[in-house]
């Protein structure tokens, strides 16, 4: 039987970077994000006794190599839980550019965790689903619960999962994503997590994370944009400082990335509430109160180097569509 699930990507306000345990994806620090309701991954899973290997079709193209191996290794975890020998056909569609710093692995593994576990007969609660999604991609655990979510660092596999901090309608924020380059990125996040500790800045970034998490959590709970803006920009800058100083160094920014960062700082000085945050890619997420999104979107489109602008408000959690 075919099981279909949908999940949204998320944008981290306080970033996950580096693991205490790479295999289990137990993070070096907790993280906070907002689900992006306008963007989605839709995934169907069918376990089939006729198949002698997993078949993974992404955006209509049958996958081989690393992308298939990563999905198969994840399904092995679910198969082991269910004590099932069956292989599956997985079809997944993203309605946004894959692999461009708009975390497609988050929505991908959140939707896959939900569809695959249901297809093998599990009815997992939110915490268990978030833990399972985490094993596929760390940030995916934050796409299981709804709205603004926090991945609690946890002491072990059992308590490292994400919870809702606030529902989507708690605070109307919008992410205007300035797409600088929509192709595949050069270095994936998993490699970045593995080398994070080679940067001398990582230890300081991790040690200070509880303060940033607290500041960000309070800013969300009290809907205080003036408090949110500096902490999310500082957290993004710390992440990129670590990336640029790890061995090998990771440089994701392009010229357009810096143009947008400078523009956001200028607009904020002029009194427009907005703040930037950048993941493992060149695109810039400009976070703002929804009331300011339309004028920011048109200003972003005028900046040389900006290919396009995607706009999203706060989204719900992962959901099963049908069976
Ligand atoms: C910069 O969750 O993509 O987007 O667990 O190896 O799949 P894997 O890494 P991933 O890392 C996300 C890194 C980030 C920050 C964040 O989303 O917290």
Is 190 a pocket residue for ligand 1 (Cβ < 6 Å)? yes
222 pLDDT higher than 90: yes
Pocket test for ligand 1, best of 130, 142, 150, 279 (most atoms within 8 A of CB): 279
Atom of ligand 1 nearest to the CA of 19: 5
pLDDT class of 109 with cuts at 50, 70, 90: very high
What Cα–Cα distance (Å) separates residue 149 from each residue in 70, 161, 239? 25, 10, 19
Query: What is the rounded average pLDDT of the residues 242-264?
Result: 97
Complete edge-to-edge strand list for the sheet that includes strand 148-151 = 10-14, 31-35, 148-151, 162-166
CATH of 173-313, one of 3.30.70.890, 3.30.470.20, 3.90.550.10, 3.90.1150.10: 3.30.70.890
Nearest to 319 by CA among 5, 100, 81: 5
Residue 185 has pLDDT above 80, yes or no: no
Compute the distance between CA of residue 175 and CA of residue 35 in angstroms, rounded to an integer.
10
Q: 12 CB under 6 A from ligand 1?
A: yes
Above 70 in pLDDT, residue 187?
yes
For the chain, the structural domain boundaries read 2-169, 173-313
Of the pLDDT bands very low, low, confident and very high (cuts 50, 70, 90), residue 323 is low
Residues 122-163: tens digit of each pLDDT: 999 999 999 999 999 999 999 999 999 999 999 999 999 999
Distance 22 CA to ligand 1 centre (A): 12
The region of weakest confidence among 27-31, 135-139, 188-192, 213-217 is 188-192
Residues 166-178 have pLDDT tens digits of 999 999 999 999 9
Cα(271) to ligand 1 centroid in Å equals: 32
Residue 221 has pLDDT above 90, yes or no: yes
Q: Ligand 1 centroid vs 74 CA: distance in angstroms?
A: 16
- Give yes or no for residue 99 having a pLDDT over 60: no
CATH of domain 2-169: 3.30.230.10
Quote the tokens at residue 30. Answer: 């907790």
Say if ligand 1 is within 6 A of residue 105 CB: yes
């Amino acid at each position: 039987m075919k099981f279909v699930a949908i999940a949204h990507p998320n944008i981290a306000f306080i970033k996950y970077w580096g693991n205490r345990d790479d295999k289990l994806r137990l993070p070096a620090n907790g993280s906070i994000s907002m689900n992006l309701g306008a963007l989605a991954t839709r995934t169907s899973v069918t376990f089939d006794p006729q198949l002698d290997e997993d078949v993974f079709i992404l955006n209509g193209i049958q996958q081989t190599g690393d992308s298939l191996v990563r999905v198969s290794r994840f399904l092995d975890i679910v198969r082991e839980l269910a004590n099932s020998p069956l292989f599956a056909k997985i079809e997944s569609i993203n309605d946004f550019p894959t692999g461009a710093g708009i975390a497609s692995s988050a929505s991908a593994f959140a939707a896959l965790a939900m569809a695959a576990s249901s297809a093998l007969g599990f009815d997992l609660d939110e915490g268990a689903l978030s833990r399972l999604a985490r094993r596929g991609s760390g940030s995916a655990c934050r796409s299981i619960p709804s709205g603004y979510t926090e991945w609690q660092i946890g002491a072990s596999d059992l308590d490292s999962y994400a919870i809702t901090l606030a529902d989507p309608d708690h605070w109307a924020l919008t992410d205007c994503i300035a797409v600088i380059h929509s192709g595949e990125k050069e270095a994936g996040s998993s490699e970045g997590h593995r080398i994070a500790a080679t940067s001398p800045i990582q230890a300081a970034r991790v040690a200070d994370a509880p303060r940033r998490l607290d500041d960000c959590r309070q800013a969300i709970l009290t809907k205080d944009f003036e408090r949110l803006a500096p902490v999310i920009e500082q957290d993004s800058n710390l992440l990129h400082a670590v990336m640029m100083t790890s061995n090998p160094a990771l440089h994701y920014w392009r010229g357009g990335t810096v143009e947008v960062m400078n523009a956001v700082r200028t607009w904020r000085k002029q009194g427009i509430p907005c703040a930037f945050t950048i993941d493992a890619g060149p695109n810039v997420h400009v976070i703002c109160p929804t009331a300011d999104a339309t004028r920011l979107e048109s200003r972003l489109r005028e900046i040389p180097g900006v290919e396009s602008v995607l706009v999203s408000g706060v989204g719900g959690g992962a959901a099963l569509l049908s069976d």
